Amino acid sequence: MGTANVKVPMSNSVTVEVKRLPHAAGLPLPDYATAWAAGMDLLAAIDTEIVLPPLGRAIVPTGLQIALPPGFEAQVRPRSGLAAKNGVTVANAPGTIDADYRGEVGVILINLSGEPFTVSRGMRIAQMVIARHLQAQWREVESLSETARGAGGFGSTGTRG
């Protein structure tokens, strides 16, 4: 049984205001590729191709400005196909867009391959996930509660089950 006709409950959605800038004219707004997708594709809103040389990076404009509600962030993440097939990823993954940011959404792409990579208009360059977040309040203490793991980190649990 497929999921194509199954809709996500409305309680799992949020309305985000979006402004399309002139250089994004004619491009579709970000959308979910499948019914249960977490991320929606961001497109390159460029008129001239961008060539990323090996190890080169560039901020690729999306032509969109967004207004997230307080308590939400947008995470800009790599597209697995670009990374696996071309060695192109998001340099600061995941990039965070805060609720109070009103500038253009840009994607910092980096080419980790040994070959040049060309970004063209309308290309799906990253995905964006909208997520709730909390703001922490610090409570300074003299000691922390004990756990079985303790201070073990950076590989302390091994790589095999």
Q: Report how far residue 57's alpha carbon sits from residue 141's, in angstroms, rounded to the nearest whole number.
A: 43
Work out the number of other CB atoms within 10 angstroms of the CB of residue 115.
10
Predicted pLDDT at 10: 53
pLDDT averaged per 10 residues in sequence order, the chain, 161 residues: 54 91 98 94 98 98 98 97 97 96 98 98 98 96 92 77 71
The domain ranges of the chain are: 14-132
Structurally, at CATH architecture level, domain 14-132 sits in Distorted Sandwich (2.70)
Quickly list DSSP for 8-60. PPGGG----EEEE-GGGTTSPPP-BSSTT-S-EEEE---SS-EEE-TT-EEEE
